[in-house]
Structure 1
Amino acid sequence: MNDLSTAINYERVCDQSLRKVEETAKPRSNLYTYFSLLLGSPHELVLESKIKFNDSILKGLPYTFEISDLIKEYSETEIIDLKRQYSALFEVGDEGPPAPIREDLFLSQPAKLREDLVRFYDYFGYTLNDEFQWQMDHLSIEIEFMHFLIFQELESNDNKLSFQLGQLDFSEKHLVNWIPDLSATINRLGSGDIYSKIVVELNNFLLIDNNWQKETINSIHKTGS
């Protein structure tokens, strides 16, 4: 059987008994929110209040993951240092940023990448403010989109599967396709600053979450095919 006939004769389903949406969606979406905030540009965000961690909002997470120490270190870093470290790692360099935080730039602007992002965002009803349209491929925004999909999965009554498959597809096409390489690049740079630690931990989290998603989703033969 070739790949085309396989795609035609099989459909993907989610094992809701493993997914346990009512238990797992909120803590998963909260983790994505934390990482989106941690990787947002300190030049654009209001950081005076910093990020406060509450371990109770991760209750029900379907795997073990620790983020409290990372948030504590981030919150204890002066804003001026956050801005300096962010710019040095993600924005400036003699030959461009040492570690670009935008997917399009990190992957050397592959054809139709931004068009694919637009299709994902439009299909699922995710709207960016005008000031963020130009950087729709920014890592913080892509992670925020995952939070959005998980939240919609929880809220939806009759379209949960669409949001579940959307999470897996987006994660594989626009996160785990480049974040491991970004993490490896940062490890080679060896700066040891807070943003380096955040990306390394994000990579660990994405791989864990992606594997968990795949465990809950199966391909089954279509009846009558």
Structure 2
Amino acid sequence: MVVRQGDDDGQEAISMTSQQPMHRVSASAAATLPNPSTLKDSPAVERALSRSKIYLLISWSLLYPEDEEFLDYLRCGEFVEDGRTALDALGIALGADGSQRAKDKLVALKKQLEMVEGLISSECVNWQLSDLQSEHRRVFSNVITLDCPPYETLFGNDHVFAQSHVMGDISGFYKAFGVELSKDIHERLDHLSVEFEFMHFLAYKESYSLCHDGIEKTQIVVEAQKKFVKNHIGRWVPLFCRMLAKKADSGLFKLVADMTGDWMEFEAAFLAVTPQPYTETDYRPATFSSPEGQTYECGAQDQGNELSMLLNEVGAQSFMDVKEKDKDQEEGRPSGTA
């Protein structure tokens, strides 16, 4: 979904872009980040890789299925298997250092995967691509649905200018790490799948940086994750998940909604951030309000519809009126313009 900078061999490059500024790291932060040479098989690397995998699974599950790739991934059991492996590794890597809240959410996530596994074996295993597409349209429709829109800027921004500000901030995060939307993905920057794949990228980049880039660059990536959760996905995704669960009511996307909600709570606890999540009363899709004392009108507003105006300009309307009157007289019907 996002295009990453490639190296000379065309392989994906996880290293920081050359424009990325370097920041000084405090002594306390440096103390929490071990020497990179000892980290390749460390719990820190496992945590980053496991979190990266969960973000990718959720991101993929919410995209509209253009082909059978994701459906095959579901039916063969690899979706559940990969998710379970990531959660198990994450639980082990947390060890005694993880908060109890984070551990409780891992237990809840494993239960969600068990329910997904049951749904796949009972229903999804017999699905065709059209069935998955129909289920996606049932929940999300073919246009932006306002009862569970998967777009950040529709939450908490009751003015179009506020939407532009948030979209600009999201774009700034992507540009800072040298990623952009793939031309094959017809979605906006603020779509949940795009934002979650960005977090997948950051978590994966953290694992690479731990092994190869040292403390300073690793801390940059960690801080970016914290800020993106606190200021973006941690604010709107919990409310979106409740709306999605209500809209879906049952089936795959109901389970994905519950799983995503639990994952966001885990992430907030794991990263030790406290987002200010939106509530139902904060959900106000943006509208355009003209500045006080000013009004905007269309010049043709009081002159009838555009077709009538065009017919009058070319003289066709009067011709049509005459033809209609002649037709009425031939059929013996009273003529008139009412």
Which of 138, 141, 150 is 2:203 aligned to? Answer: 150
1:69 is aligned to 114
Bigger mean CA offset, 126-135 vs 154-163: 126-135
Which of 108, 122, 132 is 1:82 aligned to? Answer: 132
Cα pair distance change 1:24/1:191, threshold 3 Å: same
Q: CA deviation at 1:126?
A: 1.9
Confirm or deny that 1:141 pairs with 2:194: yes
Offset from partner CA, 1:4-56 (integer Å, 9 cap, x none): xxxxxxx7837347x94223111111111111111121236733522413333
1:181 is aligned to 239
Q: TM-score, normalised by structure 2?
A: 0.53
* Partner SS for 2:204: helix
Give the whole-Å Cα distance in 2 for the aligned partners of 1:137 and 1:74: 29
Q: CA deviation at 1:107?
A: 4.7
- Look up the equivalent residue of 2:89 and give its one-letter code: G
1:41 is aligned to 64
1:26 is aligned to 49
Residue identity over aligned pairs, in percent, reads: 21
- The equivalences for 1:155-166 within 5 A come to 155-156=208-209, 157-158=213-214, 159-166=217-224
Confirm or deny that 1:212 pairs with 2:212: no
Give the whole-Å Cα distance in 1 for the aligned partners of 2:249 and 2:218: 42
Give the whole-Å Cα distance in 1 for the aligned partners of 2:171 and 2:177: 10
Give the whole-Å Cα distance in 2 for the aligned partners of 1:142 and 1:190: 21
Give the whole-Å Cα distance in 2 for the aligned partners of 1:205 and 1:146: 12
Offset from partner CA, 1:115-137 (integer Å, 9 cap, x none): 11110001012232124375111
Gaps of 5+ in 2: 1-25, 35-41, 95-102, 274-338
Q: CA deviation at 1:113?
A: 1.4
* Partner SS for 1:38: helix
Cα pair distance change 1:45/1:103, threshold 3 Å: farther
* Partner SS for 1:100: coil
- Could you say which structure has the greater relative contact order, defined with CA pairs below 8 angstroms and 6 or more residues apart? 1
Q: CA deviation at 1:85?
A: 2.1
Confirm or deny that 1:192 pairs with 2:250: yes
2:181 is aligned to 128
Report if the CA contact (8 A) 1:146-1:167 is conserved: yes
How many positions carry a matched residue from both structures? 204
Report if the CA contact (8 A) 2:116-2:252 is conserved: no
Report if the CA contact (8 A) 1:99-1:186 is conserved: yes
Report if the CA contact (8 A) 1:101-1:138 is conserved: yes
Give the whole-Å Cα distance in 1 for the aligned partners of 2:139 and 2:85: 32
Gaps of 5+ in 1: 1-10, 216-225
Q: TM-score, normalised by structure 1?
A: 0.77
1:3 is aligned to none
- Look up the equivalent residue of 1:68 and give its one-letter code: L
Report if the CA contact (8 A) 2:116-2:255 is conserved: no
- Look up the equivalent residue of 2:198 and give its one-letter code: F
1:222 is aligned to none
When Rg is computed on C-alpha atoms for both structures, the one with the higher figure is 2
Give the whole-Å Cα distance in 2 for the aligned partners of 1:126 and 1:137: 14
Give the whole-Å Cα distance in 2 for the aligned partners of 1:189 and 1:57: 28
Give the whole-Å Cα distance in 2 for the aligned partners of 1:97 and 1:81: 23
Give the whole-Å Cα distance in 1 for the aligned partners of 2:165 and 2:58: 26
